[in-house]
Structure 1
Amino acid sequence: MPLGVVVRKTPGVTRWAKWNWRAVAVLPGAGPADWVELRREGDAVEYHAATLPLTLWASDTEAYRVNLADAQPSIYLVLREEVEGDGPLHAALVTASPFEGQDYADSGEDIVEKIPMTEGLIAWVRDFTLKHHREEVFVKRRRDKSRVDLVEDGKGDARIRQDSDVYRAPRRAAQ
């Protein structure tokens, strides 16, 4: 599903950050856009930053269930610093998986914004999850029966000849 992303630019509160960028809304089914100005209120400006495809995967239904169980189900937007081009930031990805959003946030290179889902989007993700989710059966791992404690390999110092005290410090050779 094409998903438009609305990003709000406000003046920064510190001298180190001139502007504060925050994703505020999604537009399901939006057409293509590249930083189109939607609204201006003083210094605050809202942009339709980009339209990205939201793809749901049958293998990620457990993550979608976690997202839908949250008090406010959300879409996660991954923003990157723009190296080349006209826009201030590059909208790289939208996902409904909180696990994937966390993976991008862990790198520290990307900005991950959490945007509340609309009611229609919640219903779409829920219907997909109900249709494709399969519970995974827990399989307990069995221990290997081989005895690894019977061989004393690498014990002690090889320079000590007798077996009586393998932990003793070696002596200097007589000269």
Structure 2
Amino acid sequence: MPLGIVIRKAPGVTRWVAHVWKAVAVLPGAARADWKELRRDGETVEYHAATLPLELFRTDTEAYLHGLSAKVPAIYVVMRPGTEGRPLDIVLATASPYEAQDYADTGEELVEKVPMPEGLIAWIRDFVEVHHEDEVFVKRRRDKARVDRKEDGIGDARIRQVADVYRAPTAKERVH
């Protein structure tokens, strides 16, 4: 599903930061856009920065369920510092909190949490109902083999005495 990303530019609160950029909304089914101005209120401006595909995968339904069960279900927008005259490059929009965490862990991207519209919640929930399969927990069983009885690699193989395998061999015990 095409998903429009709305970015807000607001004045900074300190003299070191001129502007603050924040993802504030998503527009399901949006047309293509490239930093199209949507609204202006004084120095605060909202842009339809980009339209990205929101892709859902059968193997990630557990992550989508986790995201939908949050107090406020969200879409995660991944952004990088801009290139080609843009303030930000919008990299990805995902419904998976696990994937968003992976991007946040790198520290190279900015990850913003944007509330999910009701229609998008329903669309993702329908997808999960069709494709989700609970994984059966299989407890791993130990091998019955006793590996603790062998003493391979312990001590010096040149010593024939069992009593102290850690002592150094004497000159008459050395094997040539």
Does the alignment reach a TM-score above 0.5?
yes
Q: How many residues align?
A: 171
**What is the aligned-residue identity percentage?**
65
Shift of 1:166: 3.8
Q: Which amino acid aligns with 1:120?
A: G
Structure 1 residue 162 displacement after superposition: 4.9
How far off is 1:148 after superposition? 1.2
Letter matched to residue 150 of structure 1: R
Aligned pair 1:10/2:27, yes or no? no
Residue 56 in structure 1 maps to residue 27 in structure 2: no
> 3-state DSSP class of the match of 2:93?
strand
Q: Deviations over 1:138-163 (max 9, x none)?
A: 11111112221111123246787754
Contiguous gaps of at least 5 residues in structure 1:
none
2:16 and 2:147 map into 1 onto residues whose CA distance is: 59
Could you tell me how far apart the structure 1 residues matched to 2:23 and 2:5 are? 7
Q: What is the RMSD computed on CA atoms of the aligned residues? A: 2.1
Corresponding position: 1:68 with 2:65: no
Equivalent residue number for residue 141 of structure 2: 142
Aligned to 2:19: 19
Give 3-state SS (helix, strand or coil) of 1:34's partner.
coil
What are structure 2's unaligned runs of at least 5 residues?
Answer: 172-176
Q: 1:81, CA displacement in angstroms? A: 1.2
Deviation of the 1:38 alpha carbon: 1.1
- CA gap of 1:63–1:161, structure 2 versus 1, over 3 A, is same
**Runs of 4+ more than 6 Å apart:** 158-161
Counterpart-to-counterpart distance in 2, 1:94 and 1:6: 12
Instruction: Report what 1:105 is aligned to.
Output: 104
Letter in 1 for 2:77: L
- Letter paired with 1:40: R
Q: TM-score, normalised by structure 1?
A: 0.88
- 2:96 maps to a residue whose letter is S
CA distance in 2, matches of 1:45, 1:76: 21
Q: What is the CA distance between 1:137 and its match in structure 2?
A: 1.0
Instruction: Provide, for residues 4-41 of structure 1, a one-character-per-residue CA deviation record: whole Å limited to 9, x for no partner.
Output: 00011112223443321111000111100111111111
Q: Distance in 2 between matches of 1:36 and 1:160?
A: 82
AA aligned opposite 2:18: K
Residues 162/66 of structure 1: CA separation in 2 closer, same or farther (3 Å cut): same
Give the 3-state SS of the residue equivalent to 1:129 in structure 2.
Answer: helix
Aligned match of 2:174: none
Shift in alpha-carbon separation, 1:159–1:85, aligned structure 2, 3 A: farther
